[in-house]
Structure 1
Amino acid sequence: MAGEIEIKEIYENGMKILEDLTNNAHELQEQMLEEILRRNAGTEYLSRFFPSGQADKLNFKTNVPIVTYEDTKPYIDRIANGETSSILFADPIIQFIRSSGTSGGQQKLIPITAESFEKGKYHLFLVDIVTKKCFSGPDEGKSLSLYFSKPEIETPSGIVASPYLTFYSKTDIFQSNLAKFCTSPIETILCLDNKQSMFCQLLTGLLQRDEVVQLSSIFASVLARATKFLEDYWRELCCNIRTGYLSDWIIDPGCKNAMSLILTGPNPELADLIQQICEDKSWEGVIKKLWPKIKYISSICTGSMSQYISLLEFYGGGIPLVSPSYVSSEACFGINLQPLSKPFDVSYTFLPNTAYFEFLPVNKDGGGKAQETRTMDKPVDLANVKLGQYYEVVVTTLAGLYRYRVGDVLKVTGFYNKSPQFQFVERQNVVLSIDTEKTTEEDLSKAITNAKLILEPFGIMLTAYSSYSDTSSIPGRYVLFWELKMKGSNDLPKLDAKIMEECCCIVEESFGFTYKALRKGGAISALELRVVKHGSFDELMDFYISKGASITQYKPPCCLKSEDAIKILNSAMVGKFFSPKTMFLSALSEG
């Protein structure tokens, strides 16, 4: 583990370190691959690709195949069942990181070593430095950081598996810094009951409202969940503050002990102030009102999280939204070097010292749709990506992932020194499809962004959405689920059929040429929009959490594959609308 001196040096020299990393991106990537091959060429997995024993870059790119998790899974399963991790990588495994499974459709076990953890921690320090540099006096207060834990599981071999944050929250470095920088006591974060944990973390944040300078979570979905929780429980939170007594249903011993040191007596003045704020008819800007010294909201708002941007902007009342970094269970990729960028404009500068990166060119058709990567397209190195081109990222790590397709499609938007900057576009192969058309996550996001503009003049907010391809009848159709609310309250808006049908039309007209041609020809039926009641997407999140996903890592599925998930939203439906049967496809000739 890095010592205090090393950590101090990172903070003191952070910007210089970033300059060195980005100026020497190519050289550092070459060194990274050389080191990975030097250590791991003799493993059972890699040695079969180097029959001559020559484990160099040329043979690596010629012989080692590009793979998915399914290709690596047999080796990971063998390690989980008791075989030594040296069949896959040389360094000892310290545990498995368990992915959420909500974006890619399955939970994965990703090995982690002491060194790969150090690289991830180093990445976090640099993110912190860049973000704080943009805001004056960030060290003068604390962060209301909403973190949650999941139960650890043990594989048959005794190796622990948990989400990354559960693992990280139990480390000495996290716990030693927590009290200095965060309002939440460690006991509330380690509490395995999400409801008790959320209540106590919000309560401590309100009790320390004058110290809070930032609100943060890993993903924006957690902050959306927290605002809904606050709407439901603010009266009870005020009662706790007013009386000085913790609610009886908080029974977790750790939470009770931690709160006894914070909730030390009645504070009616604070309770009255919070009540006055929360009783306001409109909650626009409520975050700024509750925490008046807050400078920014830090949470990943790109990709599937972009659907929460308007919600957080509404509750934030102008507080900057910062998407600090691009990370996954497999590796740390890049940092947002311009934290004040608008969420839809965020690009991440890749750091060359965390893993070895390759990029598979992804073709775009005339409508801007990502297509399957052509087999004749060879991957390129970090130094050779082209401005404006789309790529699927492939990663090789010290911890047993070799030429591993992460599944994310990125676009090169620029360069910082010699390191490229990427904008997250979509998950590869997360598509809606009825016939020969493929409507991607990016297509759907853009179409819904266009359509929801119709609702804004009426004070209606789209707070969450998902979709699926309904092939239960012929021809099939796209189905959208929307959760709507009025800006001034949680009341369900009055649904005007003409307005909702117009939304359906705009969505369809925003899709690509192939969809519109098939729609006009009758191969695809009219798009259906199902409006669900307030809180329905919280129920969807709870469903995935019950299946093993972590609330901290939860990514809302833009395209539902689970029949059970579809049933949850269908059971909450309060209205459904279709594109008019006579829908004209005016943009067909423009496609």
Structure 2
Amino acid sequence: MSQYIPTLDYYTSGLPLVCTMYASSECYFGVNLNPLCKPSEVSYTLIPTMAYFEFLPVQRNNGANSSISVPKTLNEKEQQELVDLVDVKLGQEYELVVTTYSGLYRYRVGDVLRVAGFKNNAPQFNFICRKNVVLCIDSDKTDEVELQNAVKNAVNHFLPFDATLAEYTSYADTTTIPGHYVLYWELSLNGTTPIPPSVFEDCCLTIEESLNSVYRQGRVCDKSIGPLEIKIVEPGTFDKLMDYAISLGASINQYKTPRCVKFAPIVELLNSRAVSSFFSPKCPKWFPGHKQWINMN
């Protein structure tokens, strides 16, 4: 939800943004013992009586070792790798696994946490991202943190035009040859100066430059990934998307804009409200020396 922090700061004139607890549908996890800290510094102290917490070590090498679909159960090798709450290491990232009073046994919540410090002997965790990969065309793997950072870099091109990105989502379009990433952007235009097409093309290229070397290798060397595309959608499109999700049974209290869409009717809805489309004008930078490193790892 970090995308919304600048907007909240603007409308609240810098009032504290407070997140007091960390919880999900599976169980209550923990509390923020310093609720007035900056959003980027929020950490949660897990309460060991809420559930039995275990941690699966995570290695995120530019997304290359992630998987597209994370099962909710652990295989035998993963069970042997589990770490107890008292044995986690400072700075290490883990996937949270819980055994609950309601009957879930070694259930993968899907959240990736990083050990940020300790309160006495109790470890405190930063929420990093969801485990599932957001986008994949070939051997590339792009998670939501990487995508968010890439988008954040790109929208800096809008500063001279007094425009902001209201909402966005993404789609891995494999109907083209080669497949390519598509980003759907809904803009909030406050200025009167129109944004030229070249600026959107620069945004496409900036996003590609911000993605990992595996993606850029696919674009430049392997030619297995096509130019990234940004589609600008009509104002109110993401409200329509929320209405559609709620009509299918989603909870209005828990709805969050998906950062990746795959369901065909949702893709059709977004495409039907697209008013313009822009592609990356050239390949991103990639150095052949990266390939040997990737193969070795």
Q: TM-score, structure 2 length as denominator?
A: 0.88
Aligned equivalents of 1:345, 1:534: Cα separation in 2: 33
Instruction: Return the match for 1:479 from 164, 167, 182.
Output: 182
Residue 431 (structure 1) shift: 2.4
Give the Cα–Cα distance (whole angstroms) in 2 for the partners of residues 345 and 454 of structure 1. Answer: 27
Give the Cα separation in 2 of the matches to 1:464 and 1:565.
15
| Amino acid paired to 1:429 | N
Equivalents in 2 of 1:352, 1:317: separation in Å?
37
Q: Deviations over 1:184-216 (max 9, x none)?
A: xxxxxxxxxxxxxxxxxxxxxxxxxxxxxxxxx
The answer as to 2:221 corresponding to 1:501 is: no
2:39 is equivalent to residue 343 of structure 1: yes
Q: Shift of residue 324 of structure 1?
A: 2.2
Q: Tell me the residue number matched to 2:210.
A: 510
Contact 2:27 2:51 in 1 (8 A): yes
The DSSP-based 3-state class of the residue aligned with 1:321 is: coil
Of 83, 100, 111, the match for 1:380: 83
* Amino acid aligned to 2:279: F
Kept in 2, the 8 Å contact 1:311–1:461? The answer is no
What is the one-letter code of the residue matched to 2:55?
A: F
Q: Secondary structure at the match of 1:359?
A: strand
Question: 5 Å matches for 1:173-188?
Answer: none
The amino acid of 1:571's aligned partner reads S
Give the whole-Å Cα distance in 2 for the aligned partners of 1:563 and 1:545: 16
The correspondence of residues 241-260 of structure 1 with structure 2, limited to 5 A, is: none
SS of the aligned residue for 1:451 comes to: helix
1:155-554 maps to which residues of 2 (within 5 A)?
Answer: 305-365=1-61, 367=62, 371-372=66-67, 375=77, 378-487=81-190, 494-521=194-221, 522-554=223-255
Q: Identical aligned pairs, as a percentage?
A: 50
Q: Letter of the aligned partner of 1:576 in structure 2?
A: S
CA contact (8 A) 2:44 2:125 kept: yes
Structure 1: how far apart are the matches of 2:288 and 2:23? 39
Q: Please identify runs of 4+ aligned residues in structure 1 that moved more than 4 A.
A: 586-591
- C-alpha separation in 2, matches of 1:536 and 1:567: 12
What is the distance in 1 between the residues matched to 2:64 and 2:8? Answer: 28
Structure 1's unaligned 5+ residue stretches are: 1-304
1:474 aligned counterpart, secondary structure: coil
Give 3-state SS (helix, strand or coil) of 2:132's partner: coil
1: CA distance between counterparts of 2:246 and 2:142? 27
* 1:264-315 CA distance string (max 9 Å, x none): xxxxxxxxxxxxxxxxxxxxxxxxxxxxxxxxxxxxxxxxx22222222222
Gap change, CA 1:474 and 1:328, over 3 Å in 2: same
CA distance in 2, matches of 1:496, 1:587: 31
Name the CA distance, whole Å, in 2 between partners of 1:455 and 1:349: 38
Encode CA deviations 1:540-575: one digit per residue, 9 max, x unaligned. Answer: 111111111111101211111211111111111121
Q: Deviations over 1:302-360 (max 9, x none)?
A: xxx22222222222222222222211000111222222332233222212121110001
Please state whether the residue corresponding to 1:454 is helix, strand or coil. Answer: helix
The 5 Å alignment of 1:18-97 reads: none
More strand per residue: 2
Q: Distance in 1 between matches of 2:259 and 2:137?
A: 16
Residue 584 of structure 1: how far off its partner (Å) = 4.0
Which structure features the higher share of helix residues?
Answer: 1
Paired AA for residue 496 in structure 1: P
CA contact (8 A) 1:410 1:423 kept: yes
> Whole-Å Cα distance in 1 between the matches of residues 64 and 196 of structure 2?
32
Residues 3-23 of structure 1: CA distance to partner in whole angstroms, max 9, x if unpaired?
xxxxxxxxxxxxxxxxxxxxx
Q: Which amino acid aligns with 1:520?
A: V
Q: Secondary structure at the match of 2:104?
A: coil
* Deviation sequence 1:221-248 (CA, Å, 0-9, x none): xxxxxxxxxxxxxxxxxxxxxxxxxxxx
* Paired residue secondary structure (1:457): helix
User: How many residues are matched?
Assistant: 282
Give per-residue Cα distances to partners, 1:21-67, cap 9 Å, x unaligned.
Answer: xxxxxxxxxxxxxxxxxxxxxxxxxxxxxxxxxxxxxxxxxxxxxxx
Secondary structure class of the residue paired with 1:364: coil
Whichever residue aligns with residue 313 of structure 1, its letter is: D
CA distance in 1, matches of 2:151, 2:175: 24
8 Å contact kept, 2:186–2:232: yes
8 Å Cα contact 2:208/2:284 also seen in 1 = no
Q: 1:468–1:479: 8 Å Cα contact kept in structure 2?
A: yes
Query: CA RMSD for the aligned pairs?
Result: 2.2
